[in-house]
Amino acid sequence: MHRLAVRLTVALALLLLGTGCAAAPSSRWQSRGDGTAPTVVDSADCRYQARRQAELRLPRAPPDSPSRSRAPSPSDVVADSDRFAAENGFYTQCMRQKGFELVDGSLRS
């Protein structure tokens, strides 16, 4: 029962974070050179690379490991939020390496 409550809390927190990001559509990625938007392939590649980097640097214990047989502690939830933030940072880094920048869409000319 406690595990379910923790999972629901984490899911709700991620949903709220996602809603907050979606509520600010003015920021978008564009090419530094010609101002075009990234392709789906560019974005998907960076998301894959970011997830991979986060898994390498902030590994999770497998669900059936002895350390997960106990109820999750608050530090487990913090680790997930740290991993989420790290993944977003790796995504940003990848997009910039591909020649894109995050711009404020309200400043379009």
CA-to-CA separations, 79 to 52, 54, 75, 82, in angstroms, rounded: 16, 11, 6, 5
What pLDDT, on a 0 to 100 scale, did the predictor assign at position 23? 45
Q: Where along the chain do its domains lie?
A: 2-107
What pLDDT, on a 0 to 100 scale, did the predictor assign at position 66? 58
For 52-74, the pLDDT digits (tens) are: 999 888 877 666 555 555 665 65
What pLDDT, on a 0 to 100 scale, did the predictor assign at position 19? 45
C-beta neighbour count of 91 within 10 angstroms = 20
- Distance from C-alpha of 79 to C-alpha of 57, rounded to nearest angstrom: 11
Residue spans of beta strands (DSSP E) within 1-109: 27-31, 100-104
What pLDDT, on a 0 to 100 scale, did the predictor assign at position 77? 52
What pLDDT, on a 0 to 100 scale, did the predictor assign at position 42? 96
Which residues does the chain have with pLDDT short of 70? 1-25, 61-79, 106-109
Q: What are 100's strand-pairing partners?
A: 31
What pLDDT, on a 0 to 100 scale, did the predictor assign at position 60? 72
What pLDDT, on a 0 to 100 scale, did the predictor assign at position 49? 97
What pLDDT, on a 0 to 100 scale, did the predictor assign at position 95? 97
